[in-house]
Amino acid sequence: MSDPAPAPESKPKVKDDTAGATEASNHIQIHVVSQSGDDVFFKIKRNTPLSKLMRAYCSRAGVDISAVRFMFDGSRVREDMTAEQLEMEDGDEIDVMAEQVGGQ
């Protein structure tokens, strides 16, 4: 009687408190908008490195990741950054820009 009691009691409690709440808010939807205006949606966890999103976008769009820059509100998005760090919210946009070269 005393054996199983503590285990089930503590385990579900932890799950109940966090699981329901975070499962919903932990995932956010991000629009990745190309220069031509194409809009691709991604669902990503707030604390997942954005490299996942970036690589997924590049393979889908068929571009090399080194040839494009991901920008969020004017700041460069680094691969190791997360949506949380950048204070992204559900529905926010990331712009994809192509390399710029100029000389003349």
Query: What is the binding site for other proteins (CB under 8 A)?
Result: 35, 63-64, 66-67, 69, 71, 73-78, 81, 95, 97, 99-104
Buried b or exposed e, range 14-40, using 16+ CB within 10 angstroms: eeeeeeeeeeeebebebebebeeeeeb
Tell me whether residue 18 or residue 75 sits nearer to other proteins (CB atom).
75
Residue 99 neighbours by CB distance under 10 Å: 9
Tell me which DSSP letter residue 92 carries.
-
Residue among 8 and 74 whose Cβ is closer to other proteins: 74
Nearer to other proteins, 9 or 39 (CB): 39
Least separation in angstroms between residue 104's CB and other proteins is: 4
